Structure 1
C-alpha cells in the first residue's frame, strides 16, 4: 500500500470570507478544512478539485489559479502531496453534500485563525493555503500538464 496520497484543496473567497467545510473526525470534535479530497484513479488534480468542491459544498466553482504543491508528512508516516487551488464561486447547486461534512461555513480569516489557535483545523496546510492565496502566491493553471 502506498504511503503517498495525492490530494487537492481549494481556497474559495467571496466578500472577505472563505468557504470552509466542517468535518466529522471519528468521535472527536469536528475539524475545519477547505473543500478538499483525494485525486481518484483516472483523474487529475484539476478535475478532482472541481468534483470535491461540488461534493463537499454543493458549489460550482471556476478555478482561477494554482497555489502549488504542498507536501505534508503525518506523524503516522503518511506523506500527502496536496495540490492547492484558488477558485471563485459561481453557483450554489441544489445537490446533497458528502455525509462526513457536518456543515459548510463562510468564515473570515480572523475566524479561521481562531480555529487554528484552538487546533480545530484539519492540518497546518489549511491556514498556509489561505495566507499564500492572500499574498498572491499563485501560478497559472497551465503549469499543470494533464
Structure 2
C-alpha cells in the first residue's frame, strides 16, 4: 500500500481597483497564471506561509485579513491532490529590488474578465477563488488554529 498525501498550499487574493495580483510562472517550459501561492513549509503556520509566498513571488508584503475558502483539487494530468487555503487581505509596501522566485516570470494586475479569458491558469482554483472573493465569501482568521509542539 502506497502512502498518499495531499499537497497543502496557500494562496492570496489581492485586489486593487478591480484588478487582481497574479503571477506568471514557468512550470516545465509552459507559462501558467496563478495567484501568489505556494506550499506550506515544514514547521510554519498557514498565515506565515501565505505572507512568505506572496513576498517571494511578487515583492509585495501581504497582510491576510480573512479566509476566502479551502479548496480540494486533483490535477487530471498528475493525479496529485491539492488542498488550497485561500486568504484575502491587503498589500502594503513593495520591494522592487527583491529577486522573485526562480519560476516567476512576472507579476500582473488583471481584471476578473482577463483571468476568465486566460487559457493557461495553473488550476481552476485560480478563478474560483476570485469568484468566491467577489461573491463576498469570507471567514475569520480565527477559524485557523495552529497548535505548537510542546
* Secondary structure of the corresponding residue to residue 110 of structure 1: helix
Give the gaps of 5 or more residues in structure 1.
Answer: none
The CA deviation string for residues 49-89 of structure 1, in whole angstroms up to 9 with x for no partner, is: 00000000000011111012101112232211110110111
* Pairs within 5 Å for 1:77-116: 77-93=79-95, 94-115=97-118
CA distance in 1, matches of 2:58, 2:4: 29
Tell me, yes or no, if the aligned pair for 1:14 and 1:89 is still in contact at 8 Å: no
**Which one has the largest radius of gyration?**
2
Q: C-alpha distance in 2, partners of 1:9/1:139?
A: 15
Aligned residues: 142
Matches within 5 A, 1:34-73: 34-73=35-74
User: C-alpha separation between the residues in 1 aligned to 2:29 and 2:48?
Assistant: 31
DSSP-derived class of the 2:137 partner: coil
Q: Give how far 1:104 is off.
A: 0.3
Question: Normalized against structure 1, the TM-score is what?
Answer: 0.93
Corresponding residue of 1:9:
11
The 4+ residue runs of structure 1 with deviation greater than 4 A are none
- Stretches of structure 2 that go unaligned for 5 or more consecutive residues are none
Report the CA distance between 1:2 and its aligned residue. Answer: 4.3
Match in the other structure for 1:126:
126
Q: TM-score if structure 2 supplies the norm length?
A: 0.91
